[in-house]
Amino acid sequence: MRSDQMKSGLEKAPHRALFKAMGYTDEEIRRPLIGIVNSANEIIPGHIHLNNIVKAVKTGVSMAGGTPVEFSTIGICDGIAMNHEGMKYSLPSRELIADSVEVMARAHPFDGLVLVPNCDKIVPGMLMAALRINIPAIVISGGPMLAGRYQGKDVDLITVFEGIGKVKANLISKEELTSLEECACPGCGSCAGMFTANSMNCLTEALGLGLPGNGTIPAVYAARIRLAKTTGMKIMKLVEKGICPRDIATMEAFKNALTVDMALGCSTNTILHVPAIAHEAGISLNLDLLNKISDKTPHLCQLSPAGDHHLQDLNEAGGVPAVMAELNKKGLINRNALTVTGKTVKDNLKNVKVQDHTVIRKSNNPYHPEGGIAILRGNLAPDGAVVKQSAVASEMMRNKGKARVFDAEEQAVKAILGGKIEPGDVIVIRYEGPKGGPGMREMLTPTSAIAGMGLDKDVALITDGRFSGGTRGAAIGHISPEAAEGGLIALVKEGDLIEIDIPAKKLTLQVDQATLNKRKASWKRPALKIKNGYAYRYAQQVTSASTGAVFKEE
């Protein structure tokens, strides 16, 4: 056993003494030691209940003959960190989480790991660590939040964000917004729509590193506790068979995950995280591959914010396995890929059927013939930009408008809520990329304000920052190269014409090259916005959004 390095033999008597100081018996020490990575805290609704999930996992490990050893890692709530300096630390936390799990698992050679995340950067951070360390590992998330109910309709966190714009547009009262605030998030779990957390939990399942149900069983269901116990038992089988994450997360498995991504209409943040996770497995996923997969994958689900369904509806319709079974009818799923069940995708999908075709459409009757996400290129984004095309109004799929330029998110939000943005404008928010932000802030506040004010069919927004999975509308992010690296977005001026052609995958600044050359000659690289601490170090080490915003290798 790998753990013998810290517990077996005469010279490890002091090590065993330290285990015994914590109450471990000789029998527990002799068993395989399973690290349980717990990201529970009291600042994230999706993590407030993770101690209960971990307790169930530990029960499962013990039942199967292992010894669970719990340790913790950090987590940031993107919703609470939104629209202030805190969001500069959200994406950077992914690297801290991956590093902390790696450090713990290398310093203490566990025989296997059970990773217990739930929300935005915690899930990819733990997956990156699992592939980097490459010992038997399995993920069990805390599960999605139930949708709230307000005036007879399902609501969620995004309803509240968009409510701010509705108040500003005099569409609802402040009192109505307060009532909505009271009921939109009814309890624990990752926010109820197909936002980043739930996107990543579903893709973990599609990738093969989480058991069926990992992405969709609601946090408050007893089935979530049973799944956690099963996960604890299953890690023991993976240890016994020596099945490691890189045996599962192959190129074919990543293609399966991206295919499911396109069918579900997942968050654009997956285009940061999935390549970063693949990078840890030594696999390169370029943006052109994503477009190829999107071009042939039907968009089968319309979940919030793009539609009215929520994760509980997807769960009742059969969840990720049912989506994969429907995609398999078109030959879009690699059925030979191995999963943490110890079986192949083909085995897992036996007898799986869609239970509700109003939630998971038939592959021959999709919402859209192409996947939910598209990669755009052009002189504004030669290295790529990302849009959730499934959440864009048809009238905004092709659009040309005048640039309204802002060098920070706060400036743009002030203009939007102040009524300074007009139909036909293209809002440009720059110096918010991985390096320029630093930390590539999510832009949920401005996009929600646009939608709440009823401008999402008239106004586009482009940025070198990124968007929440809760964003809808013609919101194009991840523009690369970013402004802080001298990308063309840094040279855009107020009133310039910008053409967006999502079907043609084009994003073009309509300014002649001679003018751009003059602007480039006078451009100066701005100083880093944060000059000390982790964010300062992050800005110096991080790579482009087009490569997953991973750290430089050297």
Which residues belong to the active site? 468
Query: For residues 435 and 542, what is the distance between their CA atoms, to the nearest angstrom?
Result: 7
Identify the helix (H) or strand (E) that includes residue 508: strand 506-509
Among 11, 208, 44, which residue's Cα sits nearest to residue 127? 208
Are 206 and 260 a contacting pair, CB within 8 Å? yes
Query: For residues 482 and 502, what is the distance between their CA atoms, to the nearest angstrom?
Result: 20
Q: Any idea which residue has 């499934």 for tokens?
A: 390
Q: Are strands 398-406 and 384-387 parallel, antiparallel or unpaired?
A: unpaired
Query: For residues 462 and 421, what is the distance between their CA atoms, to the nearest angstrom?
Result: 14
DSSP conformational letter for 456: T
Are 300 and 232 a contacting pair, CB within 8 Å? no
Give me the helix-helix angle, 270-280 and 196-207, nearest 10°.
Answer: 40
Query: For residues 159 and 305, what is the distance between their CA atoms, to the nearest angstrom?
Result: 9
Q: Amino acid identity, residue 64? A: A
For 209-263, give the DSSP string.
SB-TTTTTS-TTSHHHHHHHHHHHHHHHHHHHHT--HHHHS-HHHHHHHHHHHHH
Tokens of 67: 């010894």
My answer on whether omega of the bond before 305 falls inside 30° of 0, hence cis, is yes
Tokens of 2: 């790998």
Other CB atoms within 10 A of residue 107 CB? 8
Among 249, 302, 313, 504, which residue's Cα sits nearest to residue 399? 504
